[in-house]
Amino acid sequence: MSTNRIVSIDSGVVMVVTDLHGDWPLYCRYRDVFLGLRARGLADTLLFTGDLIHNEGPAESDRSVEIVLDLLELREELGNALVVLLGNHEVAHIYPFVLAKGDFLYSPRFEHALGLYHDAIVNFFDALPFYARTRGGVALCHAGAFPQAADPAMMASLRAYSHRDVLRWGASRIPRERLPELSEAVAAESGIPYDIQAWENFAVADPEDPRYYDNLIGELAMAHPHFDLLWTALFNRNEADYGEDNYAYHLTALLRALSEDYASQRILVTGHMRCPNGYRIVAGGGQLRLASGDHARPYQSARYLLFDAAKPARMVDLVGGLGSVFGK
Protein backbone atom coordinates (compact mmCIF):
# COMPACT_ATOMS: atom_id res chain seq x y z
CA MET A 1 0.00 0.00 0.00
CA SER A 2 1.46 3.36 -1.02
CA THR A 3 1.90 6.17 1.46
CA ASN A 4 1.22 9.84 0.88
CA ARG A 5 2.36 12.10 3.71
CA ILE A 6 0.56 15.14 2.24
CA VAL A 7 -3.11 15.84 2.98
CA SER A 8 -5.06 18.15 0.66
CA ILE A 9 -7.98 20.23 1.98
CA ASP A 10 -10.07 21.72 -0.79
CA SER A 11 -12.75 23.64 1.07
CA GLY A 12 -14.23 24.65 4.38
CA VAL A 13 -12.95 26.58 7.39
CA VAL A 14 -9.92 25.08 9.08
CA MET A 15 -9.06 25.58 12.75
CA VAL A 16 -5.33 25.17 13.42
CA VAL A 17 -3.75 24.34 16.79
CA THR A 18 -0.03 23.87 17.41
CA ASP A 19 2.24 22.24 20.03
CA LEU A 20 0.13 21.41 23.08
CA HIS A 21 2.76 19.25 24.80
CA GLY A 22 0.49 17.33 27.10
CA ASP A 23 -1.58 20.32 28.25
CA TRP A 24 -4.96 18.62 28.75
CA PRO A 25 -6.99 21.62 29.95
CA LEU A 26 -5.82 23.68 26.99
CA TYR A 27 -6.48 20.83 24.57
CA CYS A 28 -10.04 20.57 25.91
CA ARG A 29 -10.58 24.29 25.37
CA TYR A 30 -9.50 24.11 21.73
CA ARG A 31 -11.45 20.93 21.07
CA ASP A 32 -14.61 22.39 22.56
CA VAL A 33 -14.21 25.69 20.69
CA PHE A 34 -13.97 23.75 17.44
CA LEU A 35 -16.94 21.52 18.22
CA GLY A 36 -18.98 24.61 19.08
CA LEU A 37 -18.00 26.35 15.85
CA ARG A 38 -18.70 23.19 13.87
CA ALA A 39 -22.16 22.85 15.40
CA ARG A 40 -22.91 26.39 14.19
CA GLY A 41 -21.51 25.78 10.71
CA LEU A 42 -18.52 28.08 11.32
CA ALA A 43 -15.68 25.54 11.13
CA ASP A 44 -15.21 22.30 9.21
CA THR A 45 -11.74 20.86 9.86
CA LEU A 46 -9.68 20.71 13.05
CA LEU A 47 -5.95 20.48 12.35
CA PHE A 48 -3.14 19.90 14.86
CA THR A 49 0.43 20.49 13.65
CA GLY A 50 2.06 17.92 15.95
CA ASP A 51 3.88 17.84 19.28
CA LEU A 52 0.75 16.88 21.15
CA ILE A 53 2.88 15.13 23.76
CA HIS A 54 5.68 15.61 26.32
CA ASN A 55 5.21 18.13 29.08
CA GLU A 56 8.20 19.55 30.92
CA GLY A 57 6.24 20.11 34.14
CA PRO A 58 5.62 17.64 36.97
CA ALA A 59 4.21 14.23 36.06
CA GLU A 60 0.70 15.10 37.23
CA SER A 61 0.52 17.96 34.71
CA ASP A 62 1.52 15.75 31.78
CA ARG A 63 -1.70 14.44 30.24
CA SER A 64 -0.17 13.49 26.90
CA VAL A 65 -1.70 10.04 26.70
CA GLU A 66 -5.17 11.36 27.53
CA ILE A 67 -4.90 13.87 24.69
CA VAL A 68 -4.00 11.21 22.14
CA LEU A 69 -6.70 8.82 23.36
CA ASP A 70 -9.28 11.59 23.12
CA LEU A 71 -8.14 12.33 19.57
CA LEU A 72 -8.58 8.67 18.66
CA GLU A 73 -12.17 8.90 19.87
CA LEU A 74 -12.69 12.26 18.16
CA ARG A 75 -11.46 10.75 14.89
CA GLU A 76 -14.35 8.27 15.04
CA GLU A 77 -16.75 11.24 15.13
CA LEU A 78 -15.01 13.61 12.73
CA GLY A 79 -13.33 11.30 10.22
CA ASN A 80 -11.41 13.35 7.65
CA ALA A 81 -12.47 16.55 9.41
CA LEU A 82 -9.73 15.82 11.95
CA VAL A 83 -6.17 16.20 10.64
CA VAL A 84 -3.16 15.55 12.87
CA LEU A 85 0.34 16.16 11.49
CA LEU A 86 3.47 14.48 12.80
CA GLY A 87 5.67 16.46 15.17
CA ASN A 88 9.22 15.74 16.22
CA HIS A 89 8.16 14.63 19.71
CA GLU A 90 5.93 11.89 18.32
CA VAL A 91 8.82 10.57 16.21
CA ALA A 92 10.65 9.49 19.38
CA HIS A 93 8.02 6.80 19.99
CA ILE A 94 7.85 5.41 16.47
CA TYR A 95 11.49 4.32 16.38
CA PRO A 96 11.90 4.59 19.51
CA PHE A 97 14.69 6.64 21.06
CA VAL A 98 15.12 8.80 24.14
CA LEU A 99 14.30 12.41 23.32
CA ALA A 100 15.92 14.85 25.71
CA LYS A 101 16.61 18.54 26.24
CA GLY A 102 19.61 19.00 28.48
CA ASP A 103 19.09 16.72 31.46
CA PHE A 104 15.32 16.47 30.96
CA LEU A 105 14.18 13.20 29.35
CA TYR A 106 10.87 13.46 27.52
CA SER A 107 10.30 9.91 26.31
CA PRO A 108 10.34 7.68 29.43
CA ARG A 109 7.33 9.28 31.13
CA PHE A 110 5.21 8.85 28.02
CA GLU A 111 6.38 5.27 27.44
CA HIS A 112 5.43 4.31 31.00
CA ALA A 113 2.04 5.99 30.67
CA LEU A 114 1.17 4.17 27.43
CA GLY A 115 0.43 0.84 29.11
CA LEU A 116 -2.09 -1.22 27.15
CA TYR A 117 -2.52 1.63 24.67
CA HIS A 118 1.06 1.39 23.39
CA ASP A 119 0.38 -0.26 20.04
CA ALA A 120 -2.73 1.77 19.23
CA ILE A 121 -0.99 5.08 19.91
CA VAL A 122 2.28 4.22 18.16
CA ASN A 123 0.34 2.96 15.13
CA PHE A 124 -1.56 6.28 15.15
CA PHE A 125 1.73 8.20 15.14
CA ASP A 126 3.11 5.93 12.41
CA ALA A 127 0.28 6.83 10.03
CA LEU A 128 0.31 10.62 10.53
CA PRO A 129 0.91 12.86 7.50
CA PHE A 130 3.72 15.40 7.51
CA TYR A 131 2.08 18.20 5.51
CA ALA A 132 -1.33 19.65 4.74
CA ARG A 133 -2.07 21.94 1.84
CA THR A 134 -5.18 23.83 0.82
CA ARG A 135 -6.87 24.89 -2.38
CA GLY A 136 -6.41 28.52 -1.40
CA GLY A 137 -2.64 28.17 -1.03
CA VAL A 138 -2.04 27.83 2.73
CA ALA A 139 0.26 24.92 3.55
CA LEU A 140 0.89 23.59 7.03
CA CYS A 141 3.52 21.47 8.77
CA HIS A 142 5.14 21.11 12.15
CA ALA A 143 8.54 22.78 11.86
CA GLY A 144 9.18 24.54 8.57
CA ALA A 145 11.40 24.51 5.48
CA PHE A 146 14.85 22.98 5.05
CA PRO A 147 17.58 22.75 2.38
CA GLN A 148 16.51 19.39 0.89
CA ALA A 149 13.14 20.89 -0.03
CA ALA A 150 14.77 22.16 -3.23
CA ASP A 151 15.61 18.59 -4.30
CA PRO A 152 12.65 16.91 -6.05
CA ALA A 153 14.01 13.43 -5.27
CA MET A 154 14.27 14.23 -1.57
CA MET A 155 10.75 15.62 -1.47
CA ALA A 156 9.45 12.57 -3.32
CA SER A 157 11.10 10.39 -0.67
CA LEU A 158 9.52 12.43 2.10
CA ARG A 159 6.10 12.33 0.45
CA ALA A 160 6.22 8.51 0.29
CA TYR A 161 8.08 8.05 3.57
CA SER A 162 7.59 4.74 5.38
CA HIS A 163 8.71 4.49 9.01
CA ARG A 164 8.23 0.74 8.84
CA ASP A 165 10.53 0.38 5.84
CA VAL A 166 13.21 2.36 7.67
CA LEU A 167 12.75 0.24 10.80
CA ARG A 168 12.95 -2.96 8.74
CA TRP A 169 16.18 -1.66 7.24
CA GLY A 170 17.50 -1.03 10.76
CA ALA A 171 16.53 -4.56 11.82
CA SER A 172 18.32 -6.00 8.79
CA ARG A 173 21.63 -4.41 9.77
CA ILE A 174 22.28 -7.00 12.45
CA PRO A 175 20.92 -10.55 12.89
CA ARG A 176 18.38 -10.75 15.69
CA GLU A 177 20.43 -13.37 17.49
CA ARG A 178 23.18 -10.77 17.85
CA LEU A 179 20.96 -8.21 19.57
CA PRO A 180 21.84 -9.51 23.06
CA GLU A 181 25.49 -8.97 22.17
CA LEU A 182 24.72 -5.43 21.01
CA SER A 183 22.75 -4.76 24.19
CA GLU A 184 25.79 -5.79 26.22
CA ALA A 185 27.95 -3.37 24.25
CA VAL A 186 25.43 -0.57 24.85
CA ALA A 187 25.41 -1.38 28.56
CA ALA A 188 29.19 -1.42 28.73
CA GLU A 189 29.42 1.97 26.98
CA SER A 190 26.83 3.62 29.21
CA GLY A 191 27.69 1.85 32.44
CA ILE A 192 24.00 0.99 32.92
CA PRO A 193 22.74 -2.60 32.51
CA TYR A 194 20.58 -2.95 29.42
CA ASP A 195 17.62 -4.38 31.30
CA ILE A 196 17.53 -1.26 33.48
CA GLN A 197 17.71 0.98 30.41
CA ALA A 198 14.90 -0.97 28.72
CA TRP A 199 12.66 -0.57 31.76
CA GLU A 200 13.45 3.02 32.71
CA ASN A 201 13.35 4.42 29.17
CA PHE A 202 10.81 2.21 27.38
CA ALA A 203 8.79 0.43 30.11
CA VAL A 204 9.87 -3.02 28.87
CA ALA A 205 10.90 -5.44 31.62
CA ASP A 206 10.78 -8.91 30.05
CA PRO A 207 13.59 -10.00 27.69
CA GLU A 208 10.99 -12.18 25.96
CA ASP A 209 8.85 -9.14 25.17
CA PRO A 210 8.91 -8.54 21.37
CA ARG A 211 9.69 -4.86 22.11
CA TYR A 212 12.70 -5.58 24.33
CA TYR A 213 15.24 -4.68 21.62
CA ASP A 214 13.12 -2.13 19.73
CA ASN A 215 15.23 0.82 20.83
CA LEU A 216 18.38 -0.88 19.50
CA ILE A 217 16.65 -1.42 16.16
CA GLY A 218 15.47 2.18 16.26
CA GLU A 219 19.00 3.42 16.82
CA LEU A 220 20.22 1.32 13.87
CA ALA A 221 17.37 2.65 11.71
CA MET A 222 18.40 6.22 12.45
CA ALA A 223 21.46 5.66 10.23
CA HIS A 224 19.15 5.39 7.21
CA PRO A 225 19.46 8.46 4.93
CA HIS A 226 15.67 8.83 4.83
CA PHE A 227 15.62 9.16 8.60
CA ASP A 228 18.13 12.00 8.36
CA LEU A 229 15.73 13.69 5.92
CA LEU A 230 12.82 13.18 8.31
CA TRP A 231 14.86 14.56 11.21
CA THR A 232 15.77 17.68 9.23
CA ALA A 233 12.16 18.23 8.16
CA LEU A 234 10.72 17.91 11.67
CA PHE A 235 13.49 19.20 13.93
CA ASN A 236 14.86 22.20 11.99
CA ARG A 237 14.60 25.64 13.57
CA ASN A 238 14.04 27.70 10.45
CA GLU A 239 15.94 31.01 10.30
CA ALA A 240 17.69 30.18 13.58
CA ASP A 241 19.42 27.31 11.78
CA TYR A 242 19.86 28.70 8.28
CA GLY A 243 19.80 32.49 8.56
CA GLU A 244 17.04 34.79 7.33
CA ASP A 245 18.01 34.92 3.64
CA ASN A 246 18.76 31.22 3.23
CA TYR A 247 15.60 30.28 5.08
CA ALA A 248 13.45 32.38 2.76
CA TYR A 249 14.95 30.46 -0.16
CA HIS A 250 14.23 27.09 1.52
CA LEU A 251 10.66 28.20 2.20
CA THR A 252 10.09 29.11 -1.43
CA ALA A 253 11.39 25.69 -2.44
CA LEU A 254 9.14 23.87 0.04
CA LEU A 255 6.03 25.76 -1.07
CA ARG A 256 6.88 24.98 -4.69
CA ALA A 257 7.27 21.29 -3.86
CA LEU A 258 3.94 21.20 -2.01
CA SER A 259 2.27 22.82 -5.03
CA GLU A 260 3.11 19.87 -7.29
CA ASP A 261 -0.03 18.49 -8.97
CA TYR A 262 -2.15 20.89 -6.91
CA ALA A 263 -2.95 24.55 -6.30
CA SER A 264 -0.04 26.94 -5.82
CA GLN A 265 0.96 27.11 -2.15
CA ARG A 266 1.90 30.64 -1.08
CA ILE A 267 2.03 30.74 2.75
CA LEU A 268 3.27 28.18 5.27
CA VAL A 269 1.78 27.88 8.77
CA THR A 270 3.88 26.13 11.44
CA GLY A 271 4.34 25.75 15.17
CA HIS A 272 7.45 24.24 16.81
CA MET A 273 9.15 27.43 18.00
CA ARG A 274 8.44 30.08 20.64
CA CYS A 275 6.51 33.18 19.68
CA PRO A 276 6.08 36.45 21.55
CA ASN A 277 2.38 37.29 21.70
CA GLY A 278 1.42 33.90 20.27
CA TYR A 279 2.47 34.35 16.64
CA ARG A 280 5.18 35.68 14.40
CA ILE A 281 5.40 36.46 10.67
CA VAL A 282 8.71 35.28 9.22
CA ALA A 283 10.52 34.87 5.89
CA GLY A 284 9.33 38.14 4.44
CA GLY A 285 5.68 37.32 5.02
CA GLY A 286 5.84 33.80 3.63
CA GLN A 287 5.31 32.00 6.92
CA LEU A 288 3.05 32.37 9.93
CA ARG A 289 4.49 30.80 13.08
CA LEU A 290 1.72 30.03 15.54
CA ALA A 291 1.98 29.18 19.25
CA SER A 292 -1.16 27.60 20.69
CA GLY A 293 0.32 26.45 24.00
CA ASP A 294 3.55 26.48 25.95
CA HIS A 295 5.50 28.09 23.09
CA ALA A 296 3.49 31.29 23.47
CA ARG A 297 5.17 34.01 25.53
CA PRO A 298 3.37 34.84 27.73
CA TYR A 299 1.33 31.63 27.99
CA GLN A 300 -2.02 33.39 27.83
CA SER A 301 -1.10 34.94 24.49
CA ALA A 302 -1.55 31.48 22.93
CA ARG A 303 -3.56 31.54 19.68
CA TYR A 304 -5.46 29.30 17.32
CA LEU A 305 -6.05 30.06 13.65
CA LEU A 306 -9.22 29.99 11.57
CA PHE A 307 -9.00 30.33 7.79
CA ASP A 308 -10.98 29.41 4.70
CA ALA A 309 -9.21 26.60 2.85
CA ALA A 310 -10.59 27.69 -0.52
CA LYS A 311 -9.88 31.43 -0.22
CA PRO A 312 -6.68 32.69 -1.89
CA ALA A 313 -3.99 32.94 0.77
CA ARG A 314 -3.16 36.36 2.18
CA MET A 315 -1.21 36.96 5.37
CA VAL A 316 -3.53 39.76 6.41
CA ASP A 317 -6.46 37.32 6.39
CA LEU A 318 -4.54 34.75 8.43
CA VAL A 319 -3.60 37.29 11.07
CA GLY A 320 -7.21 38.40 11.15
CA GLY A 321 -8.23 34.78 11.77
CA LEU A 322 -6.19 34.41 14.95
CA GLY A 323 -8.22 33.70 18.06
CA SER A 324 -7.73 33.00 21.75
CA VAL A 325 -9.35 30.66 24.27
CA PHE A 326 -8.33 33.02 27.07
CA GLY A 327 -10.99 35.62 26.32
CA LYS A 328 -8.75 38.20 24.71
Mean pLDDT across the chain: 96
Q: Could you give the C-alpha distances from 296 to 99, 238, 300, in angstroms and in order? A: 22, 17, 7
Percent of the chain with pLDDT over 70: 99
Which of 83, 92, 64 has the alpha carbon at shortest distance from 231?
92
Q: Which DSSP category does 328 fall into?
A: -
Residue 115 pLDDT greater than 50, yes or no: yes
Q: Could you give the C-alpha distances from 132 to 16, 45, 47, 143, 309, in angstroms and in order? A: 11, 12, 9, 13, 11
Q: Quick one: pLDDT at residue 1?
A: 38
Domains of the chain: 6-157+243-323 (3.60.21.10)
Cis peptide before 207 (omega within 30 of 0): no
Q: Quick one: pLDDT at residue 328?
A: 58
Residue 12 Ramachandran class (φ > 0 left, ψ -120 to 50 alpha, else beta): left
**5-44, pLDDT tens digit by residue?**
999 999 999 999 999 999 999 999 999 999 999 999 999 9
Q: Quick one: pLDDT at residue 157?
A: 96
Contacts 24+ apart (CB under 8 A), 314-323: 314/267, 315/267, 315/281, 315/285, 315/288, 318/138, 318/267, 318/269, 318/288, 319/279, 319/281, 319/288, 322/278, 322/279, 322/290, 323/33
The confidence band for 230, taking pLDDT boundaries of 50, 70 and 90, is very high
Residue 321 pLDDT greater than 90, yes or no: yes
Q: Quick one: pLDDT at residue 327?
A: 78
Instruction: Write out the DSSP string of 153-209.
Output: HHHHHHHT--HHHHHHHHHHTS-GGGHHHHHHHHHHHHTS-HHHHHHHHH----TTS
Contact 86, 50 (CB under 8 A): yes
**234-284, pLDDT tens digit by residue?**
999 999 999 999 999 999 999 999 999 999 999 999 999 999 999 999 999
Total-model pTM: 0.97
Interatomic CA distance for residues 142 and 20, integer angstroms: 12
Q: What is the mean pLDDT of residues 98-103?
A: 93
Q: Could you give the C-alpha distances from 316 to 109, 281, 307, 320, 322, in angstroms and in order? A: 41, 10, 11, 6, 10
41-68 burial, b at 16+ Cβ within 10 Å, e below that, comes to eebbbbbbbbbbbbbeeeeeebbbbebb
Interatomic CA distance for residues 8 and 229, integer angstroms: 22
Residue 3 pLDDT greater than 80, yes or no: no
Q: Could you give the C-alpha distances from 165 to 63, 126, 160, in angstroms and in order? A: 31, 11, 11
**Helix ranges restricted to H, the chain:** 24-39, 64-78, 88-94, 107-114, 118-126, 152-159, 163-172, 179-190, 194-202, 214-221, 225-235, 239-242, 244-258, 315-320
